[in-house]
Structure 1
Amino acid sequence: MSGSAAEAARDPVRTGSAVTITDVARVAGVSTATVSRALAQPDSVRGPTRARVLQAIRELGYVPNAAARSLRRGRTRTVLIVVPKRANPPFFAEVLRGIDVTLAAAGYSAIMGNLDEDGARERQLAELVFSGHIDGVIVLSGILPRIDDRSILEAAIPIVSACAPIDQRGYSVLTDEGEAIVAALHHLIELGHRRLAHLAGPDGNFNAETRWNALKRFMSGQTEPGITLEKLQGQFTFEGGEEAAAAFLALDPAPTGVVACSDEAAISFMKALRAAGRRVPQDVSIVGFDGIEFADYCEPALTTVCQPRFLIGETAARQLLAFLDGNGPTERHVVLPNQLRVAGSSAPPPA
Structure 2
Amino acid sequence: MSTIKDVAALAGVSFTTVSHVLNDTRPVSADARRRVLAAVEEIGYLPSAVARSLRKSETKIVGVLVPNVQNPFFAELVCGVEEACRLAGYSVFLCNSDNDPKRQQQYMRTLLEKRIDGLLLSSAGDSEALARIFKLASVPAVTVDRLVPGARADRVAVHNQAGAHAAVKHLIELGHRKIACISGPSEFEVTIERADGWRAAQRDAGLQPNEDWLIESDFSSAGGYEAARALLRHHPEVTAVFASNDLMAIGALRAVAEAGRRVPEDFSIVGFDDIELSGFVHPALTTVGCSIKELGREAGRVLIERIENPGAPLKDVLLSPRLVVRQSSAKPQLAEPNQALEKPVQAQVGGR
* Fold conserved between structures, TM > 0.5: yes
- Distance in structure 2 (CA, Å) of the matches to 1:221 and 1:296: 29
Name stretches of at least 5 consecutive residues in structure 2 with no aligned partner.
Answer: 1-52, 335-352
Query: Compared with structure 1, are the counterparts of its residues 99 and 254 closer, same or farther at alpha carbon in structure 2 (3 Å cutoff)?
Result: same
The equivalent residue for 1:247 is 230
Partner of 1:193: 176
Measured on the aligned residues, the alpha-carbon RMSD in Å equals 2.7
User: Where in structure 1 are there 5+ consecutive unaligned residues?
Assistant: 1-69
Q: Cα distance, 1:87 vs. partner?
A: 5.4
| Equivalent pair of 1:144/1:152 in contact (CA under 8 Å) | no
Provide, for residues 15-62 of structure 1, a one-character-per-residue CA deviation record: whole Å limited to 9, x for no partner.
xxxxxxxxxxxxxxxxxxxxxxxxxxxxxxxxxxxxxxxxxxxxxxxx
Match of 1:212 in 2: 195
Q: 1:163 aligns to what? A: 145
Q: Would the aligned equivalents of 2:101 and 2:125 in 1 still touch at CA under 8 Å?
A: no
The 1:124/1:263 distance shift into structure 2, 3 A limit, reads: closer
CA separation in 2, counterparts of 1:127 and 1:327? Answer: 22
> What's the TM-score, normalizing by structure 1?
0.72
Structure 2: how far apart are the matches of 1:78 and 1:232?
41
Q: Distance in 1 between matches of 2:256 and 2:121?
A: 36
Which secondary structure does the structure 2 equivalent of 1:119 belong to? helix
Partner SS for 1:203: coil
- Structure number with larger C-alpha Rg: 2
Identity of aligned residues (%): 34
Do structure 1's residue 283 and structure 2's residue 263 form an aligned pair?
A: no
The answer to whether the Cα contact below 8 Å between 1:179 and 1:214 also exists between their aligned partners in 2 is: yes
Q: Distance in 2 between matches of 1:350 and 1:166?
A: 43
Q: Structure 1 72/289 Cα, relative in aligned 2: closer, same or farther at 3 Å? A: same
Q: Distance in 1 between matches of 2:296 and 2:239?
A: 35
CA contact 1:77–1:135 (8 Å) conserved in 2: yes
| TM-score normalised over the length of structure 2 | 0.72
Query: Are 1:308 and 2:291 an aligned pair?
Result: yes
Cα 1:95–1:342 change in 2 (3 A) is: same
CA 113–304 in structure 1, closer or farther in 2 if over 3 Å, else same: same
Farther-moved stretch of structure 1 (175-184 vs 213-222) = 213-222
Return the alpha-carbon distance in structure 1 between the equivalents of residues 193 and 167 of structure 2.
14
- Residues 149-188 of structure 1, C-alpha deviations (whole Å, 9 max, x = no match): 9413421110111112223753110111101111110101
Taking a change above 3 Å as real, the CA distance of residues 252 and 261 of structure 1, as seen in their structure-2 partners, is closer
Amino acid at match of 1:293: E
CA deviations over 1:82-131 (Å, ceiling 9, x no partner): 112x45621111110111011111111110122253835632431430x3
Matched, 1:90 2:72: yes
CA distance in 2, matches of 1:145, 1:133: 23
Maintained 8 Å contact 2:153/2:314:
no
- Provide the residue aligned with 1:135 in structure 2: 117
**1:217 Cα deviation from its structure 2 partner:** 3.4
Question: What's the counterpart of residue 340 of structure 1?
Answer: 323
- Say how many residue pairs are matched: 279
> 1:148 deviation in Å?
10
2-structure distance, mates of 1:111, 1:332: 23
Q: Call closer, same or farther: CA 1:197–1:139 in 2, change over 3 Å.
A: same
Determine if contact 2:146/2:190 at 8 Å carries over to the other structure. yes
Question: Which of 58, 62, 71 is equivalent to 1:79?
Answer: 62
Contact 1:280 1:286 in 2 (8 A): yes
Cα distance change on mapping 1:325 and 1:149 into 2, 3 Å: closer
